[in-house]
Structure 1
């Protein structure tokens, strides 16, 4: 028969290396976006909402005082709602973005390619932007 193992008395743990004293926890620094990055993020939010036919996010990108071709902001919203129903899809690609800073905000110009199942166009668009209360908004757009 097998013999039972001998009990070995527990030994205190040995300290191999001293732990340095605790340092103050590092505070994670959240990188601040530059003004240009904020503006470009806004333009992408606007473009994405347009493509997704997310009318509430899309129209929130426009200033209450927005005007375009005789339409105010509400008229612009109604026009876009109508087009969203008419077209089965919308695709908007932008490239060659140029930002010109102005005293009240910025003018953002870019090459825009717009495609839907019934209409397509390519051209240069200019968004005239203002920043009020740390929030970018489109005052007007020209294509």
Structure 2
């Protein structure tokens, strides 16, 4: 499992909400740099994962007093400061990291997150461009810069709507761009307030396509429609179970989350089912905002058993991971429930 710190800035001052503006990837540390041991780093990650931020902060600060040049711990110190909403301290830490290690792209990326959270979008753009210059193969900076450009464009369209609410073309552009942003939320009340006196758009905007231009183009002839076999009811039901399971986890609805599991569920690591449920309560209820995104769900059904395989992106507080997960499922009456899960 790849554990990667992440920072969730507050909602943007823009007229649309961002659950997570930019993601922060783990620090890709070059050889020869001073690094904390795996045990020390693992202990701090565990404290953060448990929400014990103050203890993690104390441990990092004590370590750095004895090892002031450790890049990994300095990076963690910056993340913890961001989690504690000490933005200026976090900016100072990551700025010093870019000065001392100018070829590492990750501190630049984190600075961009902090600047963007303060509404300093142009500064965030400049820092992300530096990350790309020092590491042209660092994909996160490209993605984050793209997200930032989308956000800036949506803000400009929103401002244009304020000035000219009668322009039919603006509302769908604004809504379309807002849906591309992480979180995909648009402040409908603010949008309605700007457009309530404007005529409704004659047609909804077309969905964005790769390489599409803002200038209207003649559509190519439609391709022949190929009929695909409809998924079996079991496959659709299992996908629905997986979706509800992820949403319950994300909303910290422990009853619905545990309800997705069978009483025959076998936890990993030799835990009893009762102890596993207690552990899950500790790791879900009361945590910082949780996001659980699932991708590419593939279901295989064999009689009354099935498996659902997918990629899972998890984030909460300063902890983020991306894993491949398999849920083993069994039909119990009219429902499918989880009897086992593996993660890689």
Give the alignment's TM-score, normalised by structure 1.
0.72
Question: Contact 1:87–1:116 (CA<8 Å) still a contact in 2?
Answer: yes
Whether the 8 Å CA contact 1:107–1:126 is kept in 2: the answer is yes
Q: How far does residue 103 in structure 1 lie from its aligned partner after superposition?
A: 3.5
- The structure 1 segments of at least 4 consecutive aligned residues displaced by more than 4 Å after TM superposition are none
* Pair 1:63-2:244 in alignment: no
Q: State the alpha-carbon separation in 2 of the partners of residues 92 and 136 from structure 1.
A: 21
- Decide whether the 8 Å contact of 1:128 with 1:141 is kept in 2: yes
Displacement of 1:44 after TM fit?
A: 0.9
Deviation at 1:102, TM superposition (A): 2.3
| More helix as a share of residues | 2
Match of 1:77 among 262, 274, 277: 277
Post-superposition shift, 1:104?
3.1
1:45 counterpart = 2:244: yes
Question: In the alignment, is residue 90 of structure 1 matched against residue 290 of structure 2?
Answer: yes
Structure 2, unpaired ranges of 5+ = 1-231
Q: Which residue of 2 aligns with 1:54?
A: 253
Match of 1:105 among 305, 308, 330: 305
Question: C-alpha deviations, 1:53-77, integer Å up to 9, x for none?
Answer: 1111110110101112212332222
Q: Is 1:126–2:326 an aligned residue pair?
A: yes
- Partner residue in 1 for 2:147: none
Say whether the 8 Å CA contact 2:248–2:254 is kept in structure 1: yes
- Kindly indicate whether the alpha-carbon contact (under 8 Å) linking 1:53 and 1:84 is maintained by their aligned counterparts in 2: yes
CA contact (8 A) 2:314 2:322 kept: yes
Is the contact between residue 234 and residue 301 of structure 2 (CA under 8 Å) also seen in structure 1?
no
**What is the CA-CA distance between 1:133 and the residue it aligns to?**
0.5
Aligned twin of 2:233:
34
5+ long unaligned stretches in structure 1 = 1-32
> Equivalents in 1 of 2:272, 2:297: separation in Å?
26
Q: Is the 8 A contact 1:63 1:73 kept in 2?
A: no
Deviation at 1:37, TM superposition (A): 1.3
For the 8 Å contact 2:235–2:300, the answer to whether it is kept is no
Deviates more, 1:94-103 or 1:84-93: 84-93
Is residue 262–residue 339 contact of structure 2 (8 Å, CA) maintained in 1? yes
TM-score (norm 2): 0.31
Q: Give the distance between the partners of 1:90 and 1:119, measured in 2 at CA.
A: 10
Structure 1 residue 85: deviation in Å? 4.2
- Compare 128-137 and 102-111 and name the one that shifted more: 102-111
| 2:313 partner SS | strand
Which of the two has higher C-alpha Rg? Answer: 1
